[in-house]
Amino acid sequence: MVKVHPKLYKVFVGKTRTEISLMLKRQEMRELLLNVIHSLPINQQHQMTVKSNLFFKDCQVPTPLGRIVNEKLFENGKHHLMLESFTNWRDIHSYNTINCSQISPIIETISTDFKCFTLFHNQTIKITDANYQIPKDVAGYLKYLAWIKLNRDFIFNGLIYIHSPKLSHQYSQTSSIQQLDPDRHQFVSIAFEREVLQLLPAPYETNCYDYRQDGYSCRDDCITKCKTEIYTQMDGWPGDVYALKNVTMRLSKLWLNSWSMVGHLEEGVSAESLSKCSFKCGHRDDCESVQYDVRTVRVKERDEGDSSGSHSYTIGILPPKNVQLINKHVPKYEPIEFLIYIGGLISLYTGITAISLGYNIFSWLTFTNKVQNNWIFNKSSKSAAHNYKDANATELLQVKTFDSQAQAPFLKTKF
């Protein structure tokens, strides 16, 4: 808090940071502080809490390509020309850095339990955008991708997690969240790996859906906005949805009851009401989802005798060294599957298949061959029968002639 509420004036004013830290370890003191903050509208809560210009003492990132090279050098995708833009580029010390807010403004949001600061948020970001890229050769020499120094006077505990730049928040049950302990540590270095999952829409089995067609970043964004509408129509802003500075309503009372154990449904918001959001947004997975695996590499213990760093807490983000994991579903056919698929399409329009066509051709050839053979056989049979009749007639004539010649003398003798 940067402004002390009158109810807290006698409690916290005049106390050192160490004394306040010890006081907030007690449950009753934390509840006193939260009750005062929760009684205010969200826009006033932002005013009572620390701003990004006070919370961040320093934040530096390597200068993107788009800030180094003239835009004309990037026409037709000629990114390799960027090396000519600065002298002795192989020396990492010649590569300058810029403030994090120059990439994109720092977004401040607040919920029931936390105030959050989001860096590098951009919903229109493209992987090929030069304003968000650094040279690969420079990245190989970088010790830290981002160097963030926080004001320790305004942080007692906290969380850090890396998520897609298209979302202001992305909750995950994986190892993408790391706990910060500024009272014990003075410095922490964090490494991350990115995993991308790309699915296929219908008619493929993954049956994903691109929620950007409906104006949402993802399915979670659709569910969150739908749930927010339901709560705000009742009594206030839902406590698990981070609100911007322009929200003038108070937090929902349903979220201020710490004894609610089933998601605050029994106190006014029914499961049927929230099921409308599922019906509105559907149940299909996102066609592309991005998750980050974040882990702590090393920490430096705090030296209370070192006055130079007693008011700072530094976070170093290491550049990713490993190959990014991309799980991509693509349509694939084996040769026989492709032929069957094409044959099926042909059968829908012509009523025949490759097999029936081949069978019909074979049957026609067989039938033609049989007809020709029968015609030749019948012709040969008729010719043979005719010759046989002629032979029989000649033989009969010869026999009759012979008999006539043999009987003639006998007749003569008798007379």
Residue 53's identity, in one-letter code, is N
CB proximity list for 5: less than 8 A, separation 6 or greater: 36, 37, 48
Residue 156, CA distances (Å) to 180, 263, 306, 312 in order: 9, 27, 19, 12
Please give the sequence-ordered ranges of beta strands (E in DSSP) within 18-100, or none if there are none: 56-62, 97-99
Q: How open is the CA angle 112-118-121, to the nearest 5 degrees?
A: 135
Residue 154: pLDDT band with limits 50, 70, 90: confident
CA quadruple 18, 19, 21, 26: dihedral sign: positive
* Single-letter amino acid, residue 162: I
Q: What distances in angstroms separate CA 231 from CA 45, 149, 215, 228, 409, one per listed residue?
A: 19, 37, 21, 5, 144
Q: Which amino acid makes up residue 230? A: I
Beta bridge partners of 61: 98
Q: What is the pTM of this model?
A: 0.69
Check pLDDT > 80 for residue 396.
Answer: no
Alpha carbons 372 and 377: distance in angstroms, whole number:
9
Residue type, 305: G
Average pLDDT of the segment spanning 246-260: 76
Label residue 62 by pLDDT band (50, 70, 90): confident
Per-residue pLDDT for 82 more than 80?
Answer: no
Identify the CA nearest to 130 among candidates 79, 184, 201.
Answer: 79
The closest alpha carbon to 214, from 276, 290, 286, belongs to 286
Nearest alpha-carbon partner for 109 in 223, 241, 242 = 242
pLDDT of residue 79: 44
Q: What is the pLDDT of residues 293-342, one digit of tens each?
A: 888 898 988 887 777 777 889 999 988 776 577 777 777 665 666 677 77
217/129: higher pLDDT: 217
> 409 phi and psi, to 5 degrees?
-65, -35
Distance of CA 412 to the CA centre of its chain: 128
Per residue in 8-34, pLDDT (tens digit) is 667 777 777 677 777 777 888 878 888
Q: Which two structure tokens, joined as six digits, stand for 314?
A: 């530094």
Counting residues of the chain whose pLDDT is more than 90, the rounded percentage is 13
- pLDDT at residue 127 in the model: 60
- Spell out the domain ranges in the chain: 1-39, 50-193+297-332, 210-283, 333-366
Residue 230 pLDDT > 80: yes
pLDDT tens profile 84-107: 444 444 444 446 788 988 888 899
Per-residue model confidence (pLDDT) at position 368 = 58
What is the 8-class DSSP label of residue 237?
B
